[in-house]
Amino acid sequence: MEGQLTPHDARIALEAVDRGRRRVAAEVGLPGWYWWGLALGWIVVGVVADLGNTWATSAATLAFGAVHAAVAPRVAHGRSRTSLLSVSSELAGRRTGLYVVLGVAMLGVVTVAAALAVAADGARDPATIASVFVAVLILAGGPRLLAAITPDERAH
């Protein structure tokens, strides 16, 4: 009866498997530099918008969008948050990129709403204030939001 495990040995083995699964699942997400780049770019666009030059604002917005459009497809799949491990697309999920795009669109809406609210209050530089607010949301909430989406939810 060498092949039989005791309940204690089985529990230890299952706990080891669960720890390994959690370590791999923790690698699903976007790299930290993505979140910092998104937040800093957001602030730059807000600052430029408050300068009041329509051409500069348009150029900054287009440049930010172009850089994001070039970078996001390379990382938004969520398969390699760090250089330690690249997970399969089945584990990362097919919707991670969609969540990122929808999140960025929602942040745009939040930025406009916050800027309008700040401007209505009479504050100077409402776009900058709103952009800093959204940048904090990006840095604090972006990684946590993706981490909250379990691998099982990502796959559906």
Quote the CA–CA distance of 153 and 122 in Å, as a whole number: 43
The position carrying tokens 């497809």 is 73
Burial class (CB in 10 A: 0-12, 13-18, 19+), 111: buried
Q: How many domains does the chain have?
A: 1
Quote the CA–CA distance of 43 and 132 in Å, as a whole number: 6
| Positions in the chain short of pLDDT 70 | 1-2, 20-29, 76-96, 146-156
Q: Quick check: is 122 in a domain?
A: yes
Q: Quick check: is 115 in a domain?
A: yes
Q: Which residues of 71-107 are buried (b: 16+ CB within 10 A; e: fewer)?
A: ebeebbbbbbbeeeeebeeebbbeebbebbeebbeeb
Q: Quick check: is 40 in a domain?
A: yes
Q: Quick check: is 107 in a domain?
A: yes
Q: Quick check: is 2 in a domain?
A: no
- Provide the pLDDT for residue 156: 42
How many percent of the chain have pLDDT more than 90?
A: 38
Q: Quick check: is 85 in a domain?
A: yes
Q: Quick check: is 133 in a domain?
A: yes
Host domain of residue 105 = 7-155
Quote the CA–CA distance of 93 and 44 in Å, as a whole number: 32
